[in-house]
Amino acid sequence: MELREECDSDIDSWEEVILIYRSALKQISVKLEILNDEFQHVHRYNPIEHIKSRLKTSESIVKKLKKHGYESTIQNMVRYVNDIAGIRVICSFTTDIYRIAEMIANQSDIQVITVKDYIVNPKPSGYKSYHMLITVPVYLSDRIEHAKVEVQIRTVAMDFWASLEHKIHYKFEGNAPEYIKNELIECAKMVSELDEKMRSLNEEVLNISGRNKR
């Protein structure tokens, strides 16, 4: 791995990049935990099952820069690679996905750059998830850096499917046999049906609970 350092950016070393993006992940993780705790306090319900975070490796960053025709510099890395820091939010129901996305967007110090709704518009492979590219302020001793974080929000079932699809993609280096691709698409349909049935069942349970409290 070789990332050349340039001095026309405030972030001018690989170590500082890691510090800033790791701090950004900590910030958004804490925000989500607080929102989840507040939701439990107000509604007696936790929309978030669990949270996963990761930093892209230097090798992956260089590979992505080369793929898009950019030199491997710190400046290009910060400017053009949007998923250096990634956080995945796993929830129980599809309705939670949009609730969580709204809570994130409503944070006054977070800026939403782009949104990709692969639930309404799934990928041809069957992939479903809700993606947000946001910026999170990182408060350093002498300045504030706004770091980009890719947020993926999906149900447990969607995450299970995506994990298997990811393994198959790397197993066959992106060229899986057609019958396996077709099976994945069928599984994605089953996941969607399961999510809908679970959401409907949960709403029915809540309705019964509400009636019993009257």
Closest CA to 94 of 122, 114, 113, 52: 122
Given 2, 6, 150, 178, the catalytic residue = 150
* Contact predicate 65/71, CB 8 Å: yes
Active-site residue, 150 included: yes
Closest CA to 12 of 101, 75, 55: 75
> Could you give the CA distance from residue 149 to residue 84 in angstroms, rounded to a whole number?
7
Three-state DSSP class for residue 50: strand
Phi, psi values for residue 52, rounded to 5°: -120, 140
Matching residue, tokens 């399961």? 194
Do strands 144-155 and 130-139 pair parallel, antiparallel, or not at all (unpaired)? antiparallel
Closest CA to 45 of 106, 88, 95: 95
The catalytic residue positions are 150
